[in-house]
Amino acid sequence: MPFPVPRVDPVDQDMLVEIGADLRRRRLEAMLTQRQLEELTLVDQTTISRVENGQISTFRLHRYARLRAGIDGRLGEIRRR
């Protein structure tokens, strides 16, 4: 029997969409593909895509932290060049 998908409050959904848009903007600024970010962070590319599109209802803070660390590390490299 499949697990039910939790319902997300509309305010929370808006926040998830904003977080995803921010991650996408930062990833692109860092000149990373989703696959490259997956390699840096070990967060599955499918999950990255779902986060960026606001299509994930449960998003653990440690995943967000790993994604941001991977992106921010790459941005630091670019800025030092």
User: CATH class for domain 10-80?
Assistant: mainly alpha
pLDDT of the residue at 77: 79
pLDDT of the residue at 13: 78
Mean pLDDT by 10 residues, the chain (81 residues): 60 84 95 96 94 82 87 81 70
Tell me, yes or no, if the pTM score tops 0.85.
no
Q: Which 3-state string (H, E, C) describes the chain?
A: CCCCCCCCCHHHHHHHHHHHHHHHHHHHHCCCCHHHHHHHHCCCHHHHHHHHCCCCCCCCHHHHHHHHHHHHHHHHHHHHC
